[in-house]
A and B are shown apart, each in its own frame.
Chain A
């Protein structure tokens, strides 16, 4: 579940605090909606521009996959105010996406496809002098869906370290979140241009920006253990601070009840086609309704911990939702934690004194990894790899498909188990051991990492036949601030970002109230 520590929320909160305003600085768009546009916004004393290139895309080329080669629109977040020369350069490079080359002033590269049903319906309504169907907005939630948002040096764009000290961009993925927020603004602008009408702000606010995302997020989590630790630690610290409050105020109790009701409405609006996931959602909706009497009973002098303890026997899903709610109600306990969610330095780890210390660390913290029999085919059936087709991350069956020898090393649990089995009975300096077993250095590093960063490791066997990448995707996307998860398989999902967020001319502190938004009833 998204929380007020989610990266998009943190970014929009900052924009609201600064009372930023999105300005259109360039518009050369045909009546059909094709052409170029640019928007500027000030954040933390710097100005950033979104350059948007909108194309006429044949329907048969519209695909969410990384291996697609054309999109409805392409975007670059530019450092500064984009000049006409910058826009002209980006107009040539951005539609090429991975095949283009970019400069250090280009901070983020992205592309998006239309939700054709939502787009056509909204244009038709506006042309008829009407508003789009609120139910459709609820069901789909966005006019366009990004299918990649590239940052941190890819294809020549700026390395993250070049802007990581900028006020407002210090947090993880802050530049990417600014990009998707501005893309959402562009889609609203574009549909009103093509439709020749003005959207009701209450409807427009409920139109977010979609995203289709897949397997690449899972390797990211494994390959950025310090970031994962910092995200989780911030969230756990936030919850611990709230639960440590001895009482709640009347204002907090009132807000808790209001947000609990909003969450109930959000769940009712969140219906997905995948039957198994929809079953979970419907169960959560029912459980939340049954749990509601606890919110009715909250009052000043009652503790947050009492409410939390009341959910002890409830499902993990309900507890996740409750944790996000409690965090939402206490911003003064929570918001400062956002500044510690990045990783500016990489892992600072101390080597083990010897192989005995290494063995003890494995026994203390890796029981979950040692518990599997990796000789069992189903415990090692899958292998992660990178395809030569646009370097798309994929997942294969090592017993049925070629390529397992090129496996990406995400099999951390198996590697640590193999390391443990090979450790000598008598203590040795670790460097003496790795001189004989250089292949174990990766596992040793992971054990050292987990010794210092408690939340750095995903406690699962990522090569087991039962591994569900969708769970890792959801974890990362929740930290982004995603809502309305709409899984299409165990490998990928669609989501909505910025639904309910203030519009580009509404960025004021009082507008930062869009946790689990629900269409007005």
Chain B
């Protein structure tokens, strides 16, 4: 028997074809494969994750250039009873990625005669390592730059799913070291735990007692809260609780990640979610996956493959073929591949099924800097929840040290995100200005930006999808602006159960020790 070297032909009959490797598509792929369905999982990109992917620095810099051309399809292979729906291949719509370097390749010599010897010493102390553009490019593969960074609540639905499905074994996480907020024009540490609250010197002893009491009272009088505050804001509730201004700030903008208009019950829910996740793995409720958020969809793809799915990236995916009243096959290259169900990322959905609505985006900024936004003894992994300001939306700032395996030593990788109003640079500029400096003055207190990038992530939910009566097509929304994957998990589960209502969603995968092997071979066959 001789094996084929490389299959260029895909198998042509499946239970499910999944197109796109975003988080929701990947979870559904794993879930279907796990219950024994045959799955073909393809992507038109040559990398996993789509808009949830992470890139090394060089690939990230090339993102603009590598836009995929739309593919011509061949009608010749269709017969009379078939209708063709080309899939929307504007797939990777990051068309406005900007890149700015604030460092050059020339070494700016700090021991110039103009500079005094003393200044030279300070320079060495403050900024141990002087980076040049080429130095950073040489370390390119140490970067894992997320398009859509996510943190996970330690007791959130995503982490619970990783544990219950036994997918957690594929990856390692790092606890977020501290949660910060921006208050009175300065950075403040948000007290998370009991010990944090007691150690905090910004709040008085009385406030500490009030805060503790508030936290422990959240479960009480739930009925009363529902009745009295059903249509009122969380801010109103906190104010009525007679909390001081800074306590309200901590709870509203940081702990519950809310805004002034967040409704009371949602705010309470968020607060409880935060508190519930404390103390499980670290000092804050949040975890970040080593090597970036882009590894998360891959974990589900790995499980899917382990249970037999066929994976093929970089595929010329043309479109779906409708016959009578359901989709029968998908055209990939010159192959017509049959399946009972089709799962598609929203960005690949044929235009026919999309209502014309205004597109929504997340404004994103990526920065490589020389130090943390707030000094610390160890190398902190920081989540800053920057409240709304004037006409600006609240921003989520995630600052990663090299320990996260997302950037080289002596640098920090900073992600800033917010719901788009105008354009990324404009939406984030107030936050960037307050946190960083572009001025290579080594005495500066703020971190120096070496490199910055701005882009927009399309974030349309599936509310604008109209599937009419086609019940074997399932559309997965793209990235969302949540901190974590809570919405993605519930969407994946919902779609999976629509497809297979009688099956279990991602039951626990066995550990290697638990697998029962075929009894075909005689024990005597054991070598040596």
A and B are partners in one complex rather than unrelated chains: no
What residues make up the interface of A, taking CB atoms closer than 8 Å to B?
Answer: none
What residues make up the interface of B, taking CB atoms closer than 8 Å to A?
Answer: none
